[in-house]
Chain A
Amino acid sequence: GQQVMQIPQYQHVQEGEDFTTYCNSSTTLSNIQWYKQRPGGHPVFLIQLVKSGEVKKQKRLTFQFGEAKKNSSLHITATQTTVVGTYFCAGRGGGGSNYKLTFGKGTLLTVNP
């Protein structure tokens, strides 16, 4: 079945440093979504990427979808303590919208103020 690998599992940074998490799928995806889960909270949708090579930005967050639609990344510049949490990618397989999302295991980001 479809697998989505996400690295790193953990990342600790100093406030002001950049952060990147990467996702790789074993199969071509129709789209990929990113979610954030604050400590003690539930996953909250951040963004969806659909097109090959797509890049989207939200303030200091930059999301990319690979040309082959099998990998994606989330980059945060100049981290602040407000960005702490676990970031998940979730891929949806090809062949139509009925395929379920497969989540990566997430990257837990902590920021030292």
Chain B
Amino acid sequence: DADVTQTPRNRITKTGKRIMLECSQTKGHDRMYWYRQDPGLGLRLIYYSFDVKDINKGEISDGYSVSRQAQAKFSLSLESAIPNQTALYFCATCMGGGSEQFFGPGTRLTVL
């Protein structure tokens, strides 16, 4: 089984709808991250969490919110989706202390 899982893997929705992307990990890591990837723009950080009570905004948090329900679960919500939020979304985890990040398989979101 994969250590970092994301659901759904693909989602098509309409403008104005509320969408939740979920991430779960079995690695026991404290730190979790949400990135979005757009062609030519690389990976941009949306939100990150160092533990259940510590949530921080990344460089492009507007239009997004997150919830860290447990150490193993970190959800990303789009309260009212818009077409320019069409992207590939990745969740990642790491142990901390400058260690490597482990990425989930990604969620491809299309907002019509």
Contacts and interface: CB of A to CB of B under 8 A. Distances in A.
Task: Determine if chain A interacts with chain B.
Answer: yes
Interface in A34-80: 35, 41-45, 48, 50
A54 to B, nearest CB: 14
Interface of A: 1, 6, 9, 30-31, 33, 35, 41-45, 48, 50, 88, 90, 92, 97-98, 100-106
Contacts of A100: 33, 45, 48, 56, 58
Contact of A30 (B44, B59, B98, B101): B98
B42 A44 contact: no
B102 interface: yes
Contacts of B44: 103
A16 B102 CA distance: 31
Contacts, number: 55
A103 B56 CA distance: 17
Nearest to B94: A101
B59 A1 contact: yes
Nearest to B6: A42
Contacts of A105: 40-42
A12 B48 CA distance: 34
A43 B96 CA distance: 18
B100 interface: yes
A48 B103 CA distance: 16
B101 to A, nearest CB: 7
A42 B58 contact: no
Interface string B37-64: 0001111110010100000101100000
Point out which of A33, A100, A104 has the most chain B C-beta atoms below 10 A from its C-beta. Answer: A100
Given A1-B59, A9-B40, A104-B42, A98 B90 contact: no
